[in-house]
Chains A and B, each alone.
Chain A
Amino acid sequence: GQQLNQSPQSMFIQEGEDVSMNCTSSSIFNTWLWYKQDPGEGPVLLIALYKAGELTSNGRLTAQFGITRKDSFLNISASIPSDVGIYFCAGHRSGGSNYKLTFGKGTLLTVNP
């Protein structure tokens, strides 16, 4: 099935650094979501974006819904060791099958203390 293009695939950073990751698609999405998955767990929703141009923060996390509705980014400021995990973007497409989430392949984040 179709997937979103998520980059980078992996990041290795020092504690305290800021992180940025993004997702792009050739199709329009009417909702963008960012999830984090810890080892052995299911994805947990971090931020949900519902309007083009929307910028939303959740603590040290900030995400934006691109104006074209074909992209989104997630920033993490002042990273800490517990930020380690896999971050997925996901979206609901417009139209009849909007219950279905399409996922990116994930960004593996490693934080060096």
Chain B
Amino acid sequence: GAGVSQSPSNKVTEKGKDVELRCDPISGHTALYWYRQRLGQGLEFLIYFQGNSAPDKSGLPSDRFSAERTGESVSTLTIQRTQQEDSAVYLCASSLGAGRETQYFGPGTRLLVL
């Protein structure tokens, strides 16, 4: 079946603009995760959804970052008033449930803030 998909694959924006990143999880996966990957770094946890609720938003770097999820489907990560330090690859993953369930990753959105 289809894997996790993300759009856009690349995004170039100007400092101060808002951006919206989209994630389509694997059908039937109740858990969805957003991670950020800076150049040469490992993945940094941002937020976790179980269904459409977000029990853990602790990884969001600032109040400029927000995310929502519609049911057990699409999620959007919004970054307001982008800064250059927001430039990174934003990866989405989904899993059947939380805990030790295998997380399957999408290809990521490469964000460059000029």
Contacts and interface: CB of A to CB of B under 8 A. Distances in A.
Interface in A17-57: 30-31, 35, 40-45, 48, 50
Interface stretch (B12-20, B38-46, B64-72, B73-81): B38-46
B43 A43 contact: yes
Contacts of A98: 98-100
A104 interface: yes
B105 A105 contact: no
Contacts, number: 67
B86 to A, nearest CB: 16
B4 interface: yes
B106 interface: yes
Interface in B25-55: 31, 33, 35, 40-45, 48
Q: Size range of the interface on A? A: 20 to 34
A99 B31 contact: yes
A75 interface: no
B52 to A, nearest CB: 16
A90 B33 CA distance: 15
Contacts of B98: 98-99
Given A88-B43, A92-B99, A100-B56, 9 more contacts: A3-B42, A40-B108, A42-B106, A42-B107, A90-B43, A99-B56, A100-B33, A106-B41, A106-B42
14 contacts: A1-B44, A42-B108, A43-B43, A43-B91, A48-B102, A88-B42, A88-B43, A90-B43, A98-B98, A98-B100, A100-B56, A100-B59, A102-B45, A103-B44
